[in-house]
Chains A and B, each alone.
Chain A
Amino acid sequence: MATEGKPPRLALEGITKRFPGVLANDDVSFSVAPGEIHALLGENGAGKSTLVKIIYGVLQADEGRVLWDGEPVSIANPKAARRLGIGMVFQHFSLFEAMTVLENIALGLDHSFSWRELQQRVGDILKTYDLPLDPNREVHTLSVGERQRIEIVRSLLQSPKLLIMDEPTSVLTPQEVDRLFETLRRLAAEGCSILYISHKLNEIQALCDTATILRGGQVVATCDPREESARSMAEMMIGASLRDVSRKPGTDFGPERLRVTHLSAPGEGPFGVPLKDINLSVRAGEVVGIAGVAGNGQNELLAALVGEIEGAESGNIFLDGVPSIAAHVGDRRRDGMCSVPEERNGHGAVPACSLTDNAVLTARHRMELASHGFIRYGAAEKYAEQVISAFDVKATGPRAPAASLSGGNLQKFIMGREILQKPDVLIVSQPTWGVDAGAAAAIHQALVDLAAAGSAILLISQDLDELLALCDRIAVINGGVLSDMLDVEGISIERVGLLMGGMHGEDAAGNGGDRGEPRHDPLEEQVHAA
C-alpha cells in the first residue's frame, strides 16, 4: 500500500522507446509504491515487455527518466538492476534440466556464496515463505510451478525491493496459482513492491492494488482493479467493446467422428512424456477439451493423433469409424483430420515461406492445391487469399512471408487454413496462446461455428477459462495419462485443478495423492516421493 509522504519505490516518467518501424513505448509514466502489488495489463504487443526490459536494464529508453526511491537512476544492465534491488521472474525459465535446484540457483547468482551458506539461505527462504520445494531434486523431475519457485527463490536471495513477475500464472494449475498469490502477498506485506504483468483479468482483480493498462505503447488508464469489472478492463485493454462468443448449448450430438482406443506413444526427446493408453471419443458437433499443465504429453498426443510420430504409436484411431493408425499424415488429412499445433513458428507454419506456400503445406490434399505432383500455385494463392479475407488476417497478401505476420495474425491464418478445409475432425492445441484478445475471440468463434457445422473438435489447452467456455466435455492429461471425461456443466474447478497436479505436480507425491487423479506406476510414485 502507498505510504504517505514517502517517494514511490519506482517511478517512470515519459518513457519512450522506438524500434525500427514501431513505437513500442510512447510517453509512459506510472509509479509503484513500496509494498504495492501493481498490475501491468495489456495485450500482446502493447509494450509491456519492452517496458519491463527497460526497468530491468535489458533495454535503454530513448526518452524519459526512471526514478528509484525518488532518485533518477540509469539502469545500464540487469546486473545494475539487481544491485538496485530489482528482481525479475521471467515467463520462460532458464534452468538446466539435469542439475539440482540448488545448483541451478547457484549458477544464476551475482555473488558467490559458499555452498553451505547458500544451502542455509535457500532453506531459510523456503521456510519463511512456506515454499514447497526440495533443493536437492533435479529440475527435470519438477512441475512448472516448482520450477517457477526456483526463479522466485533466486530473486529473493538478492533481497529485492521490487519483484517483476512476467505472466507468472500462464503455466500453473489453479492450486499453484493460489500458492503463488500467497507468497506474493506476504512479500508485499514485508514492503517489497511487485510489478505483476498479466492479461488475466480475474487474477489481477484478486491480487493487485493498482493496475496500469497499456495499449499500443501508451498508458490508457490507471485504475483500482477491484473497482472495475473484468469486462471494463478488457475493453480498456482492447480499446473496443468485447465480442461475446456465442454458443448455443447443444446436447444432441451427431455420430462419433473420432475415436481413440488404447493409444500409446513414446515421448519426444529426452524429457518427453510417453502417452499411456489414451482413450477418448468426440462426436459430430462436440468440442472436447484436454486440460493439463504444459509438458504432460500434450505435444505427444497431438503428434500421435495427427500421425507425425511415423508409426511409433500403438493402439488405434478411428476417423468416422475407419481405423487410421497406419495412415500417414497426408492420408489422415485427406480422410478429414486437420490440426493446429501449439507452436506456430516452424511447426504450424514455415516462417520463411510465403502464406501461399504455407497454404500448400497442409491444404494441398483436401483443397486440391496439387495435381500430378505439381503445385497449382494459382489455386494455392487463391486459397491463401480466401483464408486471409475470411479470417481477417492482417498481411500484405498471400505472398507475404509467414514470419512477417504478428503472432495473432499468423495464428488466425493457420486456424483459417485448417477450418476452411471443412475438416471432419479438428485437433487444436493452444489456439489462443500469445494471441491478442480480439484475435482470440475470433478464433473461439470460428471453433464454435465449425462444431455447429458438424465437425468434431478436440481442443488441447492449458487455459481453463478457454476450455470451460468452449467445451462440452473435458479430460485432464497428466504425465501422459488421460483422466476420465468430465461434463463441463457443473464441473468443479477444484477437481480439474487436482487432476492437473498429479505426477508432475507436488500434489500426487505429497498431500493430495488420494484425491481422484489418475493412477501412476508405483515406481514413479516412489521416485517423486523420494
Chain B
Amino acid sequence: MRLRLEPRREASRAMLYGTPVLAVALTVLAGILIFSLMGYDGLAAIYQIFVAPIADPYRWQDLFVKAAPLITIALGLAIGFRANVWNIGAEGQYIVGALAGTGVALATWDMQGYWILPAMVAAGILGGLLWAAIPAFLKTRFNVNEILTSLMLTYVAVQLLYYLMRGPWRDPEGYGFPQTRLFSEWQTLPTVVQGTLVHLGVPVAFFLAIAVWIVLSRTVTGFQVRVVGLAPQAARYGGFSARGTVWLTLLTSGAFAGLAGIFEAAGPFQQMTPQFSVNYGFTAIIVAFLGRLHPLGIVLAGMVLAVSYVGGENAQTALGLPYAATGMFQAMMLFFLLAVDILVRYRLRVVVPADLSRPVEARHPPARQAETGAHVSSTPIDKQRESLSA
C-alpha cells in the first residue's frame, strides 16, 4: 500500500478554504512536538501562544494593534502577488515610510495644528511609495528581478534607520540614547476607543480591506491585476500593459507599507527608535498567503498572526520561551500552508498495488497532464492564484 497524488479535474473549493485552517492546525501540532523536544511544556506553550491572547479580553486591544499594520501591508502585497509582482521588501518600505513621516514630525516638533499629522501620514505614504519605486524602475527599465531589489533595499532601509537614530535625528535631550524625541500631541495618532491602545490605524486597516476588496473584484484595475498575473499574454491582448501593472502594484504596496509604517511610528511608538523594525513587512507576506490573497482572508490571517505575536510575548514571560519562537511559528505556518496547498489541485489516494508484474512507469503516464489540458504552473502559489479567480 502506498499513497499517491492524483490531479483533480477541478481545483477543490473546499480545500481552497480548508488548507489555511489545516496549515494552522499542523503548525500547532508541530509546535507542541518541537517545544516538548526542547524540554518545555509543549501544551502550555501552545496555550500561551494561541489561546491565552484570545481568552484574555484585556489583550484584545493588543491583537488589534498588532494586526493593523500586518493587514495594511498584506493588502498592498496581495495586489502585487496577484499580478505576479513579488515585492518582498515591504519591511523596507515600512521603515522608510515611517522615517519620512518622522522627518516631518521632527521638522514640526515645535509647531501646533491639525495639519501636522496628515502631513506626516502623507509623507509616510510617499516615503514607502518612493522606496518601492526603485525596484519598479529597475524592473521596467532593465528587467531586474524585483524580488532581489526590493529585498536588498530593506537592508538599506534598516541601515538608514540606524544612521539617522545615532546621528542627525538623535534626541538632543535624550542622554545620548539612539532615538528621536517623543512626538508631540499634534503628531501622535488619536485612539479610537477611549482608554485603550486601539489607534486610528485599526479602523483604517479594516476600511482599506473593504476598499481593496471592491477594487479587486469590481473595477477594471482589479481585473487588470488578476489577468496580468494569470495570463500575461492575454493581458497584453486585452490592452493591459505589463509595465504599467508593475508600476501600479509596486507603488500601491509601497504606499500601503509606508502608511502602516507612519501609523506605527505615530501610534504605538510615538517616536522613532532603532527597534522599530520588527519584521511586520516580512510577516505580512505570510498574512497575504494565509489569507489567500483575498482582502477578507487577509483580515482573518492578520488576526491569527497577531495572536502569534501577542502569544509569543506571553510565552516568553510565562514559560521563558525564546523570542525566536514567534518567528519560528510564523515561518512554520507559511511552510505548512505552501505544503498543504497541493491538496487544492491534487487528491491523496491510497493505492494498493494490484499487478506487481507491470512496470512502474505504466501507472505514471507522462502524457497525462497534457491530456487533461492542465497548463503547467511553476509554483504552488501560481496554482493558488489560479484557483482563486476561477
B12: CB under 8 A from chain A? no
A490: CB under 8 A from chain B? no
- Whole-angstrom distance between the alpha carbons of A375 and B238 in the complex? 14
The reply to whether A364 and B226 form a contact with Cβ atoms under 8 Å apart is no
The reply to whether B220 and A374 form a contact with Cβ atoms under 8 Å apart is yes
Q: Which A residues are in CB contact (< 8 Å) with B221?
A: 373
Instruction: Please give 10 more A-B residue pairs, beta carbons under 8 A apart, in addition to A76-B358, A346-B231, A346-B375.
Output: A307-B239, A328-B239, A329-B238, A329-B239, A333-B239, A347-B231, A349-B234, A364-B220, A375-B218, A403-B390
Nearest-Cβ distance from residue B105 to partner chain A, whole angstroms: 35
Interface residues of A in 201-234 (CB under 8 A from B): none
Interface residues of B in 203-238 (CB under 8 A from A): 218-221, 223, 226-227, 230-231, 233-234, 236-238
Decide: A350 near B361, CB < 8 A? Known: A310-B243, A375-B220: no
Q: Which of B220, B243, B373, B386 is within 8 Å of A373, CB to CB? A: B220
| Top 9 A-B residue pairs of the complex, sorted by shortest distance between their CB atoms | A330-B239, A329-B239, A361-B238, A352-B386, A346-B231, A77-B361, A350-B231, A347-B233, A76-B359
Q: Which A residues are in CB contact (< 8 Å) with B241?
A: 310, 328
A360: CB under 8 A from chain B? yes
- Whole-angstrom distance between the alpha carbons of A528 and B367 in the complex? 35
Q: Which B residues are in CB contact (< 8 Å) with A373?
A: 219-221
- Whole-angstrom distance between the alpha carbons of A77 and B363 in the complex? 10
Over the window 1-31 of chain B, the binary record of Cβ atoms lying under 8 Å from chain A Cβ atoms (1 yes, 0 no) is 0000000011000000000000000000000
The reply to whether B227 and A351 form a contact with Cβ atoms under 8 Å apart is no
Q: Which A residues are in CB contact (< 8 Å) with B238?
A: 329, 361-362
A157: CB under 8 A from chain B? no
A250: CB under 8 A from chain B? no
A-to-B contact residues, CB < 8 Å = 19-21, 49-50, 53, 58-60, 74, 76-77, 306-308, 310, 328-330, 333, 339, 341, 343, 345-354, 357, 360-362, 364-365, 370, 373-375, 377, 401, 403-404
Q: Which B residues are in CB contact (< 8 Å) with A370?
A: 220
B108: CB under 8 A from chain A? no
The reply to whether B387 and A361 form a contact with Cβ atoms under 8 Å apart is no
The reply to whether A347 and B365 form a contact with Cβ atoms under 8 Å apart is no
Measured as residues with beta carbon below 8 angstroms from the partner, the interface class of chain B is 20 to 34
Decide: A375 near B227, CB < 8 A? Known: A353-B389, A403-B373: no
Q: Which A residues are in CB contact (< 8 Å) with B386?
A: 352
Nearest-Cβ distance from residue B10 to partner chain A, whole angstroms: 8
B39: CB under 8 A from chain A? no
Q: Which of B218, B227, B361 is within 8 Å of A76, CB to CB? A: B361
Decide: A76 near B362, CB < 8 A? Known: A308-B237, A333-B239: yes
- Whole-angstrom distance between the alpha carbons of A333 and B236 in the complex? 13
Nearest-Cβ distance from residue B359 to partner chain A, whole angstroms: 5
Nearest-Cβ distance from residue B51 to partner chain A, whole angstroms: 38
Nearest-Cβ distance from residue A300 to partner chain B, whole angstroms: 13
B168: CB under 8 A from chain A? no
Q: Which A residues are in CB contact (< 8 Å) with B373?
A: 345, 403
The reply to whether B218 and A374 form a contact with Cβ atoms under 8 Å apart is yes
B-to-A contact residues, CB < 8 Å = 9-10, 218-221, 223, 226-227, 230-231, 233-234, 236-239, 241, 243, 358-359, 361-362, 365-367, 371-373, 375, 386-387, 389-390
Decide: A59 near B231, CB < 8 A? Known: A20-B9, A76-B359, A375-B223: no
User: Can you list 12 A-B pairs with a CB-CB distance of less than 8 A?
Assistant: A50-B371, A59-B367, A77-B361, A77-B362, A308-B237, A339-B237, A346-B231, A350-B234, A352-B387, A353-B389, A375-B220, A404-B10
The reply to whether A374 and B219 form a contact with Cβ atoms under 8 Å apart is yes
The reply to whether B367 and A53 form a contact with Cβ atoms under 8 Å apart is yes
Q: Which of A59, A341, A352 is within 8 Å of B237, CB to CB? A: A341
- Whole-angstrom distance between the alpha carbons of A462 and B219 in the complex? 39
Considering the complex, give the chain B residue whose CB is closest to the CB of A404. B10
Decide: A329 near B375, CB < 8 A? Known: A350-B227, A373-B221: no
Decide: A347 near B390, CB < 8 A? Known: A58-B365, A353-B226: no
Nearest-Cβ distance from residue A308 to partner chain B, whole angstroms: 5
- Whole-angstrom distance between the alpha carbons of A19 and B227 in the complex? 31
Decide: A362 near B237, CB < 8 A? Known: A350-B230, A353-B227: yes
Q: Which of A310, A351, A362, A374 is within 8 Å of B375, CB to CB? A: A351
- Whole-angstrom distance between the alpha carbons of A333 and B238 in the complex? 9
The reply to whether B236 and A353 form a contact with Cβ atoms under 8 Å apart is no
- Whole-angstrom distance between the alpha carbons of A219 and B236 in the complex? 43
- Whole-angstrom distance between the alpha carbons of A70 and B17 in the complex? 55
Q: Which B residues are in CB contact (< 8 Å) with A339?
A: 237
Q: Which A residues are in CB contact (< 8 Å) with B218?
A: 374-375, 377
Nearest-Cβ distance from residue B312 to partner chain A, whole angstroms: 37
Q: Which B residues are in CB contact (< 8 Å) with A328?
A: 239, 241
Q: Which B residues are in CB contact (< 8 Å) with A347?
A: 231, 233-234, 237
Q: Which A residues are in CB contact (< 8 Å) with B358?
A: 74, 76
- Whole-angstrom distance between the alpha carbons of A308 and B389 in the complex? 24
- Whole-angstrom distance between the alpha carbons of A310 and B140 in the complex? 13
Nearest-Cβ distance from residue A30 to partner chain B, whole angstroms: 22
- Whole-angstrom distance between the alpha carbons of A308 and B243 in the complex? 12
- Whole-angstrom distance between the alpha carbons of A19 and B365 in the complex? 12
The reply to whether A360 and B236 form a contact with Cβ atoms under 8 Å apart is no
Considering the complex, give the chain A residue whose CB is closest to the CB of B363. A60
The reply to whether A360 and B223 form a contact with Cβ atoms under 8 Å apart is yes
Q: Which A residues are in CB contact (< 8 Å) with B387?
A: 352
The reply to whether A306 and B237 form a contact with Cβ atoms under 8 Å apart is yes
- Whole-angstrom distance between the alpha carbons of A453 and B65 in the complex? 64
The reply to whether A58 and B234 form a contact with Cβ atoms under 8 Å apart is no
- Whole-angstrom distance between the alpha carbons of A360 and B226 in the complex? 12
The reply to whether B367 and A58 form a contact with Cβ atoms under 8 Å apart is yes
Q: Which B residues are in CB contact (< 8 Å) with A354?
A: 390
Q: Which of B233, B362, B390 is within 8 Å of A352, CB to CB? A: B390
Q: Which A residues are in CB contact (< 8 Å) with B239?
A: 307, 328-330, 333, 362, 365
- Whole-angstrom distance between the alpha carbons of A330 and B234 in the complex? 13
Nearest-Cβ distance from residue A76 to partner chain B, whole angstroms: 5
- Whole-angstrom distance between the alpha carbons of A131 and B14 in the complex? 56
- Whole-angstrom distance between the alpha carbons of A360 and B222 in the complex? 12
Considering the complex, give the chain A residue whose CB is closest to the CB of B365. A59
- Whole-angstrom distance between the alpha carbons of A362 and B240 in the complex? 10
Q: Which A residues are in CB contact (< 8 Å) with B236?
A: 308, 310, 329
The reply to whether B234 and A346 form a contact with Cβ atoms under 8 Å apart is yes
- Whole-angstrom distance between the alpha carbons of A49 and B365 in the complex? 14
- Whole-angstrom distance between the alpha carbons of A346 and B218 in the complex? 22
Q: Which A residues are in CB contact (< 8 Å) with B389?
A: 352-353, 357
Nearest-Cβ distance from residue A74 to partner chain B, whole angstroms: 8
Chain B CB within 10 Å, residue with most, of A20, A350, A362, A403: A350
Q: Which B residues are in CB contact (< 8 Å) with A404?
A: 10
Considering the complex, give the chain A residue whose CB is closest to the CB of B226. A353
- Whole-angstrom distance between the alpha carbons of A360 and B375 in the complex? 22
The reply to whether B362 and A60 form a contact with Cβ atoms under 8 Å apart is yes
- Whole-angstrom distance between the alpha carbons of A346 and B373 in the complex? 12
- Whole-angstrom distance between the alpha carbons of A306 and B239 in the complex? 9
- Whole-angstrom distance between the alpha carbons of A375 and B219 in the complex? 5
The reply to whether B237 and A329 form a contact with Cβ atoms under 8 Å apart is yes
Nearest-Cβ distance from residue A360 to partner chain B, whole angstroms: 6
